[in-house]
Chain A
Amino acid sequence: MQLAAKHFKASASKALLDAQLQKALGNVEKGFIGKRQKAADALPEFDALRDNARDIKNHVLAHLDLYLEEYERNVVAAGGHVHWAETAEDARRIVLDICQKANARTVTKGKSMITEEIALNDHLTANGIEPVETDLGEYIIQLRGEYPSHIIAPAVHLNKDQVEGDFRRVHTHLPEGRDLSEPVALLSEAREVLRKRYFAADVGITGANFLIAETGTSVIVTNEGNGDLTQTLGKVHVVVASIEKIVPTLEDTAQILRVLARSATGQDMSVYTTFSTGPKRPDDPDGPGEYHVVLLDNGRSAMLGTEYQDMLRCIRCGACMNHCPVYHAVGGHAYGSVYPGPMGAVLTPSLNGIEETGQLPNASTFCGRCEAVCPMRIPLPKMMRHWREREFERNLTPLTSRYGIRAWAFFAKRPRLYRLAVSFGMPVLSLLGGKSRRLHSLPFAGGWTRHRDLPAPEGRTFLQEWAQREALKQGSGH
């Protein structure tokens, strides 16, 4: 996708006026928050598990080189291939190369944010290979020519009737009069259409939720079973994953799995948790003939040792955006980046640079709800603030904000001057409030008064009043 993060404000304002979108966004709050809470409440050790998950990933990040090498050794030992991709371009080239060697005409894909990050579908299409998304949400947005608006629910910005319209538009081989009024009918139709594609596909591409160093295993968690069909029915299975997906052991994987689905959908476990180690062995009943892993860096190793390192703990559960009031208001597309919501506001500047993406870490009230629910305890608001600091240092902060804040600081650092200014200013503002005690509009305060009244100050400041009372007490010999 084209990075459009610098248009965030305009996109957000448009999203706020989009009635269809607003209706669909209601499902984010209804669908995720209560379920996560219920799952967390049902597990007394949930918070201890979060601490544990955080510690596992911190350990990995401190020794990432060693675990990556161990992982590579074990993939190779199981008969697989590991490809190192420093950039998105490298990864695209490697995947295309594998597909071409397999003479692939169509490839099926399990849901994967990494392949979104490297814009793989466009690259395959441009080279004459048809990618077929098999996750229901991904399939729907592929039909629409869109990109995911949520990292685990890519089509959450759509309503059922929109999907029905798309299916009728595209599935023209099916009877026109068929009943698609129930969601399950849509699901069955997609399943039927996709089933044929699995068998026709030459290559299956998936992401990975975990890469296990001790066994060379990749793990995906899904709810539809499409990932399993994608990776076992093709002749070649390609896993595209970023380097921070590494965990040391199977035991560590099990630990983090306990917080992943609970935080994401409120399930104890996803319906499918699939472990893949190497290609089909002689005694295996099925499996791919070849097994490739493309390990993507794309800016991540540069985050190690910086104040953004904690972001590499992220397991892509989506809890941060599910609980974000800004995401609830504008949806994922407004962010103009592959990764929306709070995790995207930190990760996108790391991957794409702050110059074009500065809007994202600024568009937060710092309410802290994302950090409060993050299973990996990533301090998201703190890191968004660090991005604002990088902007400020490099004079990238918009001038009105910059001058405004410097002016405030000038007075705030000079208490006497500040007292003088406010002792005149506040009574005037108070008078402007009139009998209603509020202002409907005020020059230079349009950002506030466009949508709400400004409460008038009471009059003199607290410190003025306090000083006077104290003086009176002294005077009366108190």
Chain B
Amino acid sequence: MTSSETRVARQPRVGLFATCLVDLFRPSVGFASVKLLQDAGCEVHVPVAQTCCGQPTYNTGDRADTREIAEQVIEAFEGFDFIVAPSGSCAAMLKKHYPGLFKGNADWEDRAQRFSDKCHELVSFLADVMMVRDTGAALSARVTYHDSCSGLRELGVQQQPRKLLANVGGLELHEMKDSDVCCGFGGTFCVKYSDISNAIVTKKVGNIDASGADMLLAGDVGCLMNMAGKLKRLGSDVEVRHVAEVLAGMTDQPPIAGSGK
């Protein structure tokens, strides 16, 4: 590739924060992220000292454990030019919530703020920072896109995935009704308030079906597992994938909760 010669002198060094759900349930999203970042001209690193961003403890009210987890993440990642996560909610945790955990501890608060300034959600990082317009992927499919809440409302991820998907050859985007309404996942909410979560995801799945799409995409594996789990329980054929898989042209793995073609 000669394109790298026209870029900045040095490739940006990106630490990929894979997120626990991608690491444990959907490694192909990790590899799709690596490919997208490398194609965009980044040098990608995957620090081994990563586990979880701390959202489960944070949202349960366990601030002390959350702070320790945050310190661990900051120590492992603060050396990179950028920290990128293929998830709106984990990226929002890193970017929007870490500094507040260290209120009253000026050294750590500063350090967390410098770290947070470098954190990004994958698709918005590609579009807004690396100025990617076309990932070069092609896929013949009718897709619908769900806006996961944290990415949408905390980080403003909305147009970026749609613009990149618009340049995927052969792909048609069919917007569903209320694409910006919660799917009912909410982390531990979906098991703590299982019946309410079910009512919310049932409504969401109805909107997905009504869109006429044969593939559902979103940027957060948690939401995707929730929607895929409900779609499959109801016997739907809609394929469920992380948007990075499609943008990277890596749809050879079977879809989430599906056995593939």
Contact = CB atoms under 8 A, between A and B. Distances in A.
Interface in A138-175: none
A184 interface: no
B192 interface: yes
Contact of B259 (A329, A402, A419, A437): A437
Contacts of A435: 259
Interface string B29-51: 11100100000000000101111
A369 B182 contact: yes
B61 A365 contact: no
Contacts of B157: none
Interface stretch (B108-116, B123-131, B250-258): B250-258
A121 to B, nearest CB: 31
A398 to B, nearest CB: 8
Nearest to B29: A462
Interface in A440-478: 445-448, 450-463, 465-467
A462 B257 contact: no
A364 interface: yes
B160 interface: no
B103 to A, nearest CB: 11
Contact of B46 (A402, A406, A466): A466
Contact of A406 (B62, B153, B186, B194): B62
B27 A365 contact: no
Interface in A365-424: 365-369, 371-372, 385, 387-393, 397, 401-402, 405-406, 408-409, 411-413, 415, 418-419, 422
A426 interface: yes
B57 interface: yes
B52 interface: yes
Nearest to A469: B31
A409 B54 CA distance: 8
Q: Which of A9, A362, A436, A452 has the most CB of B within 10 A?
A: A452
B81 to A, nearest CB: 20
Q: For A325, A450, A460, which residue has the most chain B Cβ atoms within 10 angstroms?
A: A325
A459 to B, nearest CB: 8
A326 interface: yes
A292 to B, nearest CB: 43
B98 interface: no
B257 A415 contact: no
A330 interface: yes
Contact of B48 (A390, A415, A446, A451): A415
A6 interface: no
A13 B233 contact: no
Contacts of A459: 27
A392 B62 contact: yes
A456 B201 CA distance: 19
A62 interface: no
Interface in B184-211: 184-201
B23 A438 contact: no
Given A365-B184, A389-B61, A329 B199 contact: yes
B196 A467 contact: no
Q: How large is the interface on A (under 10, 10 to 19, 20 to 34, 35 or more residues)?
A: 35 or more
A409 B257 contact: no
Interface residues of B, number: 69
Contact of B181 (A325, A419, A454, A457): A325
B199 A16 contact: yes
A460 B230 CA distance: 24
A5 B193 CA distance: 14
Nearest to A409: B65
A368 B154 contact: yes
A415 B72 contact: yes
B182 A325 contact: yes
Nearest to B66: A409
A78 interface: no
A413 B65 contact: yes
A408 B56 CA distance: 8
A453 B48 contact: no
A104 interface: no
Nearest to A387: B61
Interface string B8-24: 00000000001010111
B194 A450 contact: yes
B150 interface: yes
A243 interface: no
A351 interface: no
Contact of B198 (A369, A412, A451): A451
Given A329-B196, A368-B150, A415-B51, A448 B190 contact: yes
B149 A463 contact: no
A113 interface: no
Given A390-B61, A401-B60, A462 B192 contact: no
A419 B23 CA distance: 10
Contact of A366 (B18, B34, B63, B186): B186
Contacts of B188: 401, 405
B232 interface: yes
Interface of B: 18, 20, 22-31, 34, 46, 48-52, 54, 56-63, 65, 68-69, 72, 149-150, 153-154, 181-182, 184-201, 225-226, 228-230, 232-233, 253-254, 256-259
15 contacts: A12-B195, A328-B200, A365-B200, A366-B186, A371-B153, A392-B62, A406-B65, A409-B57, A412-B69, A447-B192, A452-B233, A453-B233, A454-B225, A461-B27, A465-B31
Given A401-B188, A406-B65, A438-B229, 9 more contacts: A16-B196, A365-B185, A366-B187, A391-B61, A438-B232, A447-B191, A448-B194, A452-B230, A453-B233
Interface of A: 9, 12-13, 16, 325-326, 328-330, 362-369, 371-372, 385, 387-393, 397, 401-402, 405-406, 408-409, 411-413, 415, 418-419, 422, 426, 435-438, 445-448, 450-463, 465-467
